[in-house]
Amino acid sequence: MAGIAKRIEKGVIRGKRFEIIVDGKRVEAYEGETIGAAIMAAGINTLRSSRKKKEPRGIYCGIGLCQECRMTINGIPNTQACKTQATPECCVESEKSEA
Amino acid sequence: MGKAELAIIGGGPGGIATAVEAAKQGVRVTLLDENARVGGQIFRQLEKGFTPDVPEAMGKNFQKGKELFKEFKLLENKITYLNSATVWGIFDNNRIAYGRNGESKTLESERLLIAAGAYDRPIPFPGWTLPGVLTAGGAQKLVKIDRIIPGEKILLAGTGPLQLVLAHQLIRAGANITAVLEAGGFKGKWLKLMQGMWGNWDYMGDGLRYLRRIHKAGIPLMQGHMITQARGGGRVEEAVIAKVDKDWRHIPGTEQTITADTVCLGYGLVTSTELTRLAECDHEYDIGLGGYVPVRSKSMETTKQGIYAVGDGAGVAGSKVAILEGRIAGIAIASSLGYVSRKKRKSILAGYNNSLARHTRLRNVLDEITRPRPGLYELADDETIICRCEDVTFKDIKDLVKKKGIKAKDIKRKTRIGMGSCGGRMCGPTIIELLNNMNKAESKPPAGLNCRPPIKPIPIGVLAGKGDADKPNNWGTPTAAKHKGGNWHGSKRS
Amino acid sequence: MVPKEAEVVVIGGGIVGSAAAYFLAKENKEVVLIEKGHKSGEASGGNAAWVWSLSRKAGIDVELAMHSIEIHRQLQNELEFDFEYRAKGGLMIIDAENQVPYVEAHMEQRRKSGYPLERIDAKSVLEIEPMLNKETLLGGVWNPVDGTTNPIFLVISLNMEAEKLGAKIYHHTEVQNIQVKAGQVRGVTTSQGTIKTNCVVNAAGSWAKQIGEMVGVTVPVTPFQMAMLVTEQLSPCIFHPIMGASYMVEEDSGKKGGLGSGLIVSQQVSGNILLGASWRDAQYDKRTIQEEIELIAGNALKSIPALQNIRIIRSFANFFPHTSDDLPILGEVEGVSGFIMASGHNGHGVCLGPGSGKLISELICDKKTSIPIEELNIARFGLN
């Protein structure tokens, strides 16, 4: 279901554009965005699976408290996507942070 | 080990206002904030890389914030400002442990001020864990800071003025909002509202502006309505909404299914009291103020001498109150350290206290309208997740919460609720409310879940003083190790 | 309200008391279990969660452990609630030369007593635990019977089964007084009423001393505070309970003041890694302090460098009922008929608890225990 979230064009001048890699796919991102935002704008909804029921989870609180946005970023598991700034070519993997 | 006269935890309006007032009087202030830039939630600043093309793009509240930031900037040589500092513990009433630049550091201070803010109240209902269901605060951050509209058909469900602000920001950004659901309602309360608004004309002006914009955009503002279900495969696709009575209990037969791919939940805020509870300050409980609130004197001091608390983290009341409380605390602290005479303190505080009383009047009225009613916590069905981290469902806890004398910690031990990475922030408020409702015989609010440091997750490397936050560690996935088979019986005597 | 009468009143709802209540209920005894705190008690509610015998000394120490491990295995089949007992073997790692003499001495003792351990080289250790620090590892000791469990689930499970069998269990209920007349226990007064009984089991762990005072018995058990850290959930990466041999060298250090520490690491079924431990004399203070949190993190990082970016989500501390000879106190107290000690398990309560519960039940029902426990009687301290 691509393209549900979208970037706002008016009212802001974006910084540099680059790409990040999410589960092997190249995804557009801009300087100043969090990985969570870039992922949302790419239409990716599920960031991980819940612990026991393996249900899909995405961004919920958006401010770094709920821990639902944990992904493996540049090899480090349990990294919060909503708090981590997107950097060029950073490697993001979903669903790998749970036991 | 760093030393300060006043250490302030939290760089939102409350923390900055305290810093400004205290530093003006000569106090040696250190301000710690976990973000790269001050502002907290409401005054959150854009990240590097974004430039607002018009100042108004950031909203009216932000302009107010700018004035405060200007004062802060003027005092920058007098305030030690530690950004990207995550406070993880308070020890012995005067020592703060925080992680910064990959290391754990210590700051000893004669006075502590905690302005930890608040966060959106988690409300469990069927489907609330689906991707696409966000908090209003999270949606606001996406719109204001990341400059993203979270969806194409957005449903706002909640209560109170914060939702109206979000709606206004979304409309201005070009978003498509299907409806705004207000659980309470202003019907019959206009007179009360007027009384509260008296003298607070700017609030009233803002409120009317937001309502008008929503109306102009043709978005239905449905009073006395709540979301009761979110449904979808992998993401929200539709929502069930219903009319509710004055206790926010849904009226059977009034359900409607509406298409939505995003739901923003704004059912009030919960105070972040991890630090005040860790410091063993006394707390009272009031759901209208955000749950646990530290008991404070008029100068904002908690029951632990030398520890003060202001802002939403000490009782949800908005940024204006946070700023006033911060200023009051700043003067009171400066006075307690000998920088301000009693006479001067009295005269400065008189002005601030008057403003505070005025704002409190309005808050009280708004709280009555938006105060959570019992129906808010009756939405869950058996399968609804209560603890998101550990996947504990309502079925797992519904019988336990009814048991006489049971405490939150018993439920935690049996079901693992509260043992996840979020530290009980997402499930704690729910468990407390359920216990409060079910065990009405108890005269005081139930004891919450424990609070042990670190109060936010901290990497082992940082705690060990060998953190390297910028250099990623290639963890890798260990291949299945070769086990030596276990033997149940062990070696026998030879 | 508690019942007016019971055949046995067990004081303390941790693992020892809960196991005792369960086994007694199985023997159709009318049991009442009184716990002053939350479900699963105090020390049993927060500990390393190890079912461990590797470092148990030759003699009654290891005998108790082996007996109890067998009970853990049996309980896994008997109890309905899965308490996550996994016994794939335990490991002690040697990473400094000064640890070697301690390890060798221990192994020799164990070999002589008929419970040998296996010495393995560094390469073999890394094969089964690849995350360990290759640079510092010198070798290890392997014990196939050891493992981990979920003591909270185990205690709650024991409670549930005991209740099904007729036991009555009360939490958040304090014992205030014990009535003794003519050298015989007559009753127990709690915050919820008085129970007439001729048999009381003191399974009050770190509060065994206070219970003893109620009957004029000096119980030499003191609280020994230990702290641990919990990481967030990870895919399986640590496969066995791992103890640093430095533990054997350091264990005496904190007991006379100051902060002691030794390495213990294990990963729970939930995926959280438990790291420990530090100890200090903190009486009944459950708070964790900055020094110990940073110390445990530092020790863990030295042994497992890959933990660098793994986050700690909380710490906890608990009191472990300490005795001077590191052995529990089991058995009836001479001079106070019906007052049965079942406390002082030091830091080994999780492993020894089920076994102690069974032995106490045997003692009460048959007067005979499956392994001799006379040497564990309180009389050995010569205080009463």
Query: What pLDDT, in 10s, does the model give residues B167-202?
Result: 999 999 999 999 999 998 766 566 566 655 655 566
Smallest CA–CA distance, residue B103 to chain A, in Å, is 17
CB contact under 8 A, A52 and B48: no
Q: Would you say C30 and C10 are in contact if contact means Cβ atoms under 8 Å apart? A: no
Q: How far apart are the first and last CA of chain A?
A: 28
C-chain CB neighbours of A97 within 8 Å are 233-235
Task: Give the number of beta-carbon pairs within 8 Å between A and C.
Answer: 26
Kindly tell me the burial class for residue C92, based on how many C-beta atoms sit within 10 Å of its own C-beta (0-12, 13-18, 19 or more): buried
Check if B2-119+270-340 and B122-267 are the same fold.
yes
Domain assignment of residue A5, yes or no: no
Q: Each residue of C334-379: pLDDT tens digit?
A: 999 999 999 999 999 999 999 999 999 999 999 899 999 999 999 9
| More confident position, B321 or A11 | B321
Please report whether residue A3 resides in a domain. no
DSSP label at residue B250? B
Average pLDDT, integer, range B194-212:
69
Is residue C1 included in any domain, yes or no? Answer: no
With helix as H, strand as E and coil as C, how does chain C read?
Answer: CCCCECCEEEECCCHHHHHHHHHHHHCCCCEEEECCCCCCCCHHHCCCCEECCCCCCCCHHHHHHHHHHHHHHHHHHHCCCCCCCECCCEEEEECCHHHHHHHHHHHHHHHHHCCCCEEEEHHHHHHHCCCCCCCCCCEEEEECCCEECCHHHHHHHHHHHHHHCCCEEECCCCEEEEEEECCEEEEEEECCEEEECCCEEECCHHHHHHHHHHCCCCCCCEEEEEEEEEEEECCCCCCCCEEECHHHHHCCHHHHCCCEEEEEEEECCCCEEEEEEEEECCCCCCCCCHHHHHHHHHHHHHHCHHHHHCEEEEEEEEEEEECCCCCCEEEECCCCECEEEEECCHHHHHHHHHHHHHHHHHHHHHCCCCCCCHHHCHHHHCCC
Q: Which residue has the higher pLDDT, B254 or B36?
A: B254
> pLDDT per residue over C241-290, tens digit each?
999 998 888 765 555 567 889 999 999 999 999 999 999 888 899 999 99
Residue B44 carries which side chain, given as an amino acid letter? R
Q: Would strands B148-149 and B458-459 be described as parallel, antiparallel, or unpaired?
A: unpaired
What is the band of B472 on the pLDDT scale with cuts at 50, 70, 90? very low
Can you tell me the distance from the alpha carbon of B323 to that of B61, in angstroms, rounded to the nearest whole number?
12
Give me the interface pTM, i.e. the ipTM. 0.94
Q: Which residues from chain A sit within 8 angstroms of residue B151, using beta carbons?
A: 4-5
Q: Is the peptide bond before B454 cis (omega within 30 degrees of 0)?
A: yes
Q: What is the β-pairing status of strands A56-57 and A17-22?
A: unpaired
Residues B49, B28: Cα–Cα separation, whole Å: 33
Cα-based distances in Å from B127 to B228, B233, B393: 9, 10, 12
Q: Is A99 on the interface with C (CB under 8 A)?
A: yes
DSSP state of B60: H
Q: Do B486 and C89 touch (CB under 8 A)?
A: yes
Inter-CA distances, B231 with B258, B260, B460, Å:
10, 9, 39
Residues 6+ apart with CB under 8 A from B75: B19, B20, B23, B24
Q: How many CB atoms lie within 10 A of CB A16?
A: 10
Q: Is the pLDDT of residue B491 over 50?
A: no
In a domain, A35, yes or no: yes
Place A2 in a pLDDT band, splitting at 50, 70 and 90: low
Chain-chain contact of B52 with A12 (C-beta, under 8 angstroms): yes
Write out the E strands in B244-319: 256-259, 262-266, 269-271, 283-286, 291-294, 307-309
d(CA B157, CA B122): 12
Is C234's CB within 8 Å of A78's CB? yes
Contact B148 A12 (CB under 8 A): no
- Please report whether residue A10 resides in a domain: no
Domains in chain A, number: 1
Q: Is residue C166 part of a domain?
A: yes
Sequence letter at residue B260: A
CA distance B25 to B3: 18
Q: Which residues of chain A neighbour C232 with C-beta distances below 8 Å?
A: 67, 78
Identity (one letter) of the amino acid at A93?
A: E
Query: Does B47 sit within 8 Å of A85, measured CB to CB?
Result: yes
Class of the domain covering B2-119+270-340: alpha beta
CA atoms A14, A20, A22, A25: torsion sign:
positive
**C168 shares its domain with C138:** no
A53 min Cα distance to partner chain C (Å): 13
Expressed as residue numbers, the domain containing C174 is: 8-75+151-220+326-381
Dihedral of the CA atoms B332, B337, B342, B345 (nearest 10)? -30
Q: Is the pLDDT assigned to residue C145 strictly greater than 60?
A: yes
SS3 at position B246:
coil
How big is the CA angle at B488 (ends B483 and B489), to the nearest 5 degrees? 130
Per-residue confidence band for B213, with pLDDT thresholds at 50, 70 and 90: confident
Contacts A2 to B, Cβ<8 Å: none
User: C 259-278 residues with CB below 8 A of B?
Assistant: 270, 272, 275
B149, B388, B475 ranked by CB distance to A5: nearest:
B149
| C165 lies in some domain | yes
Q: What is the pLDDT of residues B342-362, one digit of tens each?
A: 999 999 888 888 888 888 777
Choose one of C322, C350, C365: the last residue of a domain.
C322
CA distance C315 to chain A (A): 18
C311: nearest CB among A51, A78, A98:
A78
Same domain, residue pair C51 and C134 = no
Query: Which helix or strand (DSSP H or E) is residue B168 part of?
Result: helix B161-172
Cα C204 to chain center, whole Å?
A: 12
Query: Looking at the DSSP assignment, which residues form a beta bridge with residue B135?
Result: B265
Give yes or no for a contact between A45 and A39, defined as CB atoms under 8 angstroms apart: no
Query: Do C157 and C276 reside in the same domain of the chain?
Result: no
Domain with C238 in it: what CATH number? 3.30.9.10
Task: Count other C-beta atoms under 10 Å from residue C308's C-beta.
Answer: 21
DSSP-derived secondary structure for B359-399: HHHHHHHHHHHHS--GGGG----TT-EEETTTTEEHHHHHT
C230 Cβ contact list (under 8 Å, min separation 6): C272, C273, C274, C275, C312, C313, C314, C315, C316
User: Is C308 in the same domain as C289?
Assistant: yes
Q: Are B172 and B179 in contact (CB under 8 A)?
A: no
Question: Rounded to the nearest 5°, which phi and psi values hold at C19?
Answer: -65, -45
For the ranges B361-365, B420-424, C69-73, the lowest mean pLDDT is seen at: B361-365
Task: State whether residue C285 sits within 8 Å of chain B by CB.
Answer: no
Tell me whether residue B312 is exposed, middle or buried, using C-beta atoms within 10 angstroms of its C-beta: 0 to 12, 13 to 18, 19 or more.
buried
In chain B, what residues touch A58 (CB-CB under 8 Å)? Answer: 130-132, 235
CB neighbours of B480 closer than 8 A, spacing ≥ 6?
none
Q: pLDDT (tens digit, 9 = 90+) per residue, B474-489? A: 333 332 333 333 221 2
A11: number of Cβ within 10 Å: 17
Q: Residue A36 is part of a domain; what is its CATH number?
A: 3.10.20.440
Residue A52 lies in a domain: yes
> Sorting pLDDT into bands at 50, 70 and 90, what band is C6?
very high
Average pLDDT score over residue span B449-464: 93
Taken as a whole, chain B contains a residue count of 494
Cross-chain CB nearest to B460 (options C145, C289, C310): C310
Task: Label residue B206 by pLDDT band (50, 70, 90).
Answer: confident
- Picking from B53, B86, B147, B275 by the largest number of A CB atoms within 10 A of its own CB, the best residue to mutate is B147
Q: Which long-range contacts (CB under 8 A, 24 or more apart) does B488-493 make?
A: B488/C73, B488/C87, B488/C145, B489/C70, B489/C145, B490/C53, B490/C66, B490/C69, B490/C115, B490/C144, B490/C145, B491/C114, B491/C115, B491/C116, B492/C114, B493/C114, B493/C115
Q: What is the DSSP letter of A83?
A: T
Residue B79, token pair as written in the block:
């305030």
Nearest C-alpha of chain C: how many angstroms from A75?
Answer: 10
Give this prediction's pTM: 0.92
Same domain, C157 and C214: yes
| pLDDT of C73 higher than 90 | yes
Q: Please indicate whether, in this complex, the C-beta atoms of B119 and A61 are within 8 angstroms of each other.
A: yes
Count of CB pairs separated by less than 8 Å, A with B: 174
Cis ω for the linkage preceding B242 (within 30 of 0): no
CB B278 within 8 A of CB B453: yes
Interface of C with B in 1-20 (CB under 8 A): none
Q: Which domain holds residue A46?
A: 17-93
pLDDT of residue B58: 55
Q: Provide, rounded to the nearest whole percent, the portion of chain B with pLDDT above 90.
A: 65
Contact B413 C156 (CB under 8 A): yes
Query: Would the CB atoms of B234 and A10 count as touching at under 8 Å?
Result: no
Residue at which a domain ends, from C280, C302, C322: C322
Would the CB atoms of A45 and B234 count as touching at under 8 Å?
yes
Q: Whole-angstrom Cα distance, residue B405 to residue B428?
A: 18
Which residue(s) pair with B44 in the sheet? Answer: none
Q: Which residue has the higher pLDDT, C151 or B438?
A: C151
In this prediction, what percent of chain C has a pLDDT beyond 90?
92
Q: B104: helix, coil or strand?
A: strand
Number of residues in chain A: 99
Q: Which residues of A touch B50 (CB under 8 A)?
A: 12-15, 32
pLDDT score recorded for residue B415: 96
Chain B, nearest residue to C146 by Cα: B486
The answer to whether the CB atoms of A98 and C233 lie below 8 A apart is yes
> Do C316 and C339 belong together in one domain?
no
- Count of H helices and E strands in chain B? 13, 24
Of the candidates C39, C45, C116, which has its C-beta nearest B491's C-beta?
C116
Using the predicted structure, report yes or no on whether residue C94 has a pLDDT greater than 70.
yes
The predicted pLDDT at position B485 comes to 31
Whether residues C309 and C247 share a domain: the answer is yes
Structural domain boundaries in chain B: 2-119+270-340, 122-267, 380-438
Are A62 and B135 within 8 A, CB to CB? Answer: yes
CB B165 within 8 A of CB B58: no
Closest-CA distance, B441 to chain C, in angstroms, reads 16
* C232: nearest CA partner in chain A: A78
Pick the CATH number of B122-267 from 2.60.40.1180, 3.20.10.10, 2.40.110.10, 3.50.50.60: 3.50.50.60
Shortest CA distance from B461: residue in chain C: C308
C170 & C278 share domain: no
Chains B & C: contacts with CB separation below 8 Å: 155
Interhelix angle B190-197/B342-370, nearest 10 degrees: 160
Residues of chain C contacting B457 with CB distance shorter than 8 Å: 232, 311-313
C259 at A interface, C-beta within 8 A: no
Domain finish residue from C278, C302, C322? C322
A1/B119 Cβ within 8 A:
no
Statement: residue C27 has pLDDT above 70: yes
| Interface residue A43 vs chain B (CB under 8 A) | no
* Chain B residue with the nearest C-alpha to that of C272: B420
Q: Provide the CATH number for the domain around residue C200.
A: 3.50.50.60
Do C52 and C163 belong together in one domain?
Answer: yes
Above pLDDT 70, what percent of chain B? 85
C30 domain residue, yes or no? yes
Q: Which amino acid is at B219?
A: I
B472 touches chain A (CB under 8 A): yes
CA C59 to CA A38: how far, in whole Å?
63
Both tokens of B316, joined, read: 């949800």
